[in-house]
Amino acid sequence: MKSQAVGKITESERDEIKLLFERKNGLVELFKSIQESSHPLYDRLVQDMGVTATKFQKWWDEKSRQYRWKGVAGHHWEINFETCEIFLKKDR
């Protein structure tokens, strides 16, 4: 389906969410490597996953309120990291 542009953010805002996005993915994929709870990094990793997920969601909540992006049920927002544009996209 086609996505709809609903806003644009600043480059520094883009950098904030890009870092959180990358970290979130990094943590998920590190978790796939570690898995065993006996691993020395396991507890730190699980805790970081929780903290990062919270920060990630908070960013979207704050920015959507700040910029008043259009929202529709069954849809989500996505960002183009190159252009800083925000798009509304239907959930899969």
Partner 1 sequence: MPTKDPVKIEGKNTWEEGRSKSVTFIVTEDCQLRCKYCYLVGKNKSGRLEFDIAKRAIDYLLREREFITENSVVLDFIGGEPFIEVDLIDRVCDYFKARAFEENHPWFNSYRFSFSTNGLLYHDDGVQRYISKNKSHLSIQITIDGTRAKHDLQRVYPNGQGSYDDVVRNIPRWLEQFPDSSTKVTVSSGDIPFIRESVLHLWKLGIKEVNINVVFEDVWKPGDDERFEEQLVSLADEIINKKLYESYSCSFFSKSLGQPYRDNMNWCGAGKMLAVDHLGNFYPCIRFVGFSLQKRAALMLGNCFDGIDRNRLRSFLTLDMASQSPAECLDCDVASGCAWCQGANYDSADTETIFQRATYLCKMHKARVRANNYFWNKLSRKLHQDLRAQS
Interface positions, 43-62, toward partner 1 (CB under 8 A): 44-45, 48
For residues 2 and 89, what is the distance between their CA atoms, to the nearest angstrom? 7
Applying CB under 8 A, what is the total number of residues that bind partner 1? 24
Buried-state track 7-16, b at ≥16 Cβ within 10 A, e below 16: bebeeebbee
Segment lying near partner 1 (by CB under 8 A), choices 6-14, 15-23, 53-61, 66-74:
15-23
Is residue 5 at the binding interface for partner 1, with CB under 8 A as the rule?
yes
Starting at the edge strand that comes first in sequence, how are the strands of the sheet with 85-90 ordered?
Answer: 4-8, 85-90, 75-80
Which residue among 8, 46, 85, 88 contacts partner 1 (CB under 8 A)? 85
Residue 10 contacts residue 84 (beta carbons within 8 Å): yes
Q: Which residues bind partner 1 (CB under 8 A)?
A: 2-3, 5, 19, 22-23, 25-30, 32-34, 41, 44-45, 48, 80, 82-83, 85, 87
